[in-house]
Amino acid sequence: MKKTLISLLVVTGVGISAVGLVAGERGERHHNEDHERHEHGSSAAYRSDPQYDLYKSECGDCHMAYPPSMLPVASWQGMMTVLDDHFGDNAELDVATAKEVTAFLGRNAAGEGSGEYGERSWRATQGLAPPLRITETDYFRGQHHEIPDKMVTGNPDVGSLSRCESCHREAELGNFDEHGVRIPGYGRWDD
Amino acid sequence: MNISIIPSLVLVGLLAAAAVQAGTVDDLLAEYQSKGVGSFDASAGEVLWQQRFPSSDGVERACTSCHTSDLRQKGRHAVTGKTMEPLAPSVNAKRFSKRRQIEKWFKRNCKWTLGRECTAQEKGDLLSFLRKQ
């Protein structure tokens, strides 16, 4: 009788501990998910902008519609004044459309409160001349310098670091999480 | 909903899209003609479509550089590699339905490909060729 009671207490104790462990893990996972969702949400806030569809159709037909938070406002403003020579391509817009797109880029540009990537890009460009390309920023270079050329410029399915979506499969959603990277022909990237 | 009615609705939708397309293109052709052009020639449009032009980077450019020689297939941007939807209205009903889009792409792409804007004659010839694809 005594033995049985002890066994019962032990089993119950193990059971309670197990429940506690599972609950603890769940709690942590919930916390991480909330954290990621928060970061993801704020980094992708530009997609909820009423002019996002305009931006996506006017700029995103030729290349990925990059998150505006990857460059500071001065970079975008400069770029929008020379669309007739847009890195060697002609990307001219009519005056009214260009004005709307410039305003969209400005209010979603890198800066305080522009999400994880935006704030880091912004800090990295403080005090410097406005960068012309996202791939020229110190923040971007710091994130990509370990990736060998053969995986990018030497990779026919990538070709250039400017093709974010080749490896960041959710880039169009504003998600650049390293865990989601899949380099064509090479798979996951783990540094 | 009665299932037998669905094909009819789809057909009506397609016909409506084709009507919008024809209206937009006809309006633009009339506008180009009002600039003193006599008539348009689809075969001249096809020749221009295939023609290769020298460029500052040494690589010849043509409409087909991005749109490929089969207009019913998807294209690929020569610089960025981004996929583009087919241009042939027979497989992509959205094409040539918006005046602003047509004019925007003529301006950008003529400047990139030919190094200058296309004339009213050239744009009319190209549209006459493209609308039949």
The number of folded domains in chain B is 1
Are the Cβ atoms of B112 and A90 closer than 8 angstroms? Answer: yes
ipTM surpasses cut 0.85:
no
Range of the structural domain that residue B85 is part of: 5-130
Strand partners, A110: A72
Strand partners, B53: B61
Q: DSSP class of residue B37?
A: -
Per CB-CB distance under 8 Å, the chain B contacts of A63 are: 77, 80, 82
Helix (H) or strand (E) holding A123: helix A115-125
CATH code (residue B17): 1.10.760.10
Residue A11 — very low, low, confident or very high, per pLDDT cuts 50/70/90?
very low
Q: Report whether pLDDT(B82) > 80.
A: yes
Per CB-CB distance under 8 Å, the chain B contacts of A62 are: 77, 79-80, 82
Test mutation, B59, B79, B94, chain A, max A CBs within 10 A: B79
Residue A54: φ, ψ to 5°: -65, -50
Tokens of A83: 């669309």
User: For B59-80, what is the mean pLDDT?
Assistant: 94
Q: Report whether pLDDT(A28) > 70.
A: no
Whether the CB of A89 is below 8 Å from some CB of chain B: the reply is yes
State the burial class of residue B96 (Cβ atoms within 10 Å of its Cβ: 0-12, 13-18, 19+).
Answer: buried
Q: Would you state the pLDDT for residue A16?
A: 44
Q: Rounded to whole angstroms, how far apart are CA atoms B4 and B113?
A: 48
Are the Cβ atoms of B111 and A163 closer than 8 angstroms? Answer: no
Residue in B82, B84, B108 closest to A91 by CB: B108
Residue A120 — very low, low, confident or very high, per pLDDT cuts 50/70/90?
confident
Q: Rounded to whole angstroms, how far apart are CA atoms A79 and A77?
A: 5
pLDDT digits (tens, 9 = 90+) for B18-56: 766 778 999 999 999 998 888 999 999 999 999 999 998
Q: Would you state the pLDDT for residue B15?
A: 64
* The model's pTM: 0.76
Angle, helices A115-125/A2-43, rounded to nearest 10 degrees: 50
Q: Any idea which residue has 């959710």 for tokens?
A: A170
User: For A72-101, what is the mean pLDDT?
Assistant: 95
